[in-house]
Homo-oligomer: A and B are copies of this chain.
Amino acid sequence: MSTIKEVAQSAGVSVATVSRVINKDPAVRPATRDKVMNAIAQLSYTPNLLGRHLRQTRTNKILVLIPSISNQFYSKIIRAMEKVSEEQGYDVLVCMTHNDPRAERRYIDMLVTRVVDGIVFFSSSLSAAQMDELASGFPVVQCSEYIEGSNTDMVVIDDEKAAYDAVSWLLRRGHKRVAYMGSQVRYSSGIRRERGYRKAVTEAGGKADERFVFLDDYSYPGGGRMAGKYLECGSDRPSAIFCISDSMAIGCINRLISEGVDVPGKVSVMGFDDTSIAKVFCPAITTVSQPQSEIGRLAAELLIDRIRNGVHKASGGKLRKIILPHDLVIRNTTI
């Protein structure tokens, strides 16, 4: 690989001039520019960004940290982030933590060691203090998930209220009891949704029956397994199930149907996220939708603002916690 020095030599100018040409400095004579451009083409030279970034102390890249790409939910959000980022001249990198704190640490290091300019967190295993400390030195935004007690910019929905609304709706529709299917990994959103679930149940005069609070993972198979447990409960089981993801709901519904239990005839099932399959699935899934594009757009904007204006000065130093509205989408898996 050729360097700026070789180009300079080959063009018969100094490295400074080559750098000027690369950076489109108007103060270089057309004739010189041409010479340099030729040399660049000749040697098929591309600047080493490490050198540039080292000098400029910025990289124009942002990192998005998610647990896993196998969860469809992130797809639309990240797409929106990419749109904003592209407009603003930033590249978006995605890394997966698989809820492994060590992996997370390695990727956070990319920020701390200045390989990227900022991070969007979807769930983190940091403590509130650690997160706050990171955010005090680097541009950081929490998205969808957030660490309880932490103070950073964030874009979220009111998960507790969303779950409360969903479960309340089921109860109002005449279901006496509602089962809960959540995540074993205690994502903050999961905790809040469970809280909303319990609140709705309690307020309706019942109390949450621990036999009907199931935990597994976010996947289709996870939903299937929980449906299995649910079926083992015998005939006094609830007539409605609130799942905290669409994948769970689908895994669950398929299991129920294959065991001959009619959905929604015998059991109503509700999902969460309104991912692309929810509308297409048969029966179409009743679910809680989040404004995914809006979430992604805002998160990217907040982050880039912090990057551009400095961690402490952006938005006058004030934190921004944006809570976006959720929405109940009634389809055909509930009566």
Q: Contact: B49 with A115, CB < 8 Å?
A: yes
Residues of B within 8 A of A47 (CB): 113
Partner of A276, one of B70, B107, B257: B70
A51 within 8 A of B: yes
Bound together, the chains give a CA A278 to CA B47 distance in angstroms of: 46
Q: How many monomers of this chain does the complex have?
A: 2
Residues of B within 8 A of A75 (CB): 68-70
Stretch at the interface among A33-41, A89-97, A202-210: A89-97
Contact with B along A184-224 (1 / 0, CB 8 A): 00000000000000000000000000000000000111011
- Jot down 28 A-B pairs with beta carbons below 8 A, ordered by A: A46-B109, A49-B113, A49-B115, A50-B114, A50-B115, A54-B54, A59-B115, A61-B115, A68-B75, A68-B79, A69-B74, A69-B78, A82-B98, A91-B95, A91-B110, A94-B94, A94-B95, A220-B277, A221-B276, A221-B280, A224-B280, A247-B277, A250-B280, A253-B282, A254-B280, A254-B282, A255-B282, A258-B282
CB-CB nearest in chain B for A332? B258
A331, chain B: closest CB distance, angstroms: 12
Contact with B along A252-276 (1 / 0, CB 8 A): 0111011000000000000000001
Given the contacts A70-B72, A280-B221, A96 and B110 also touching, CB distance less than 8 Å: no
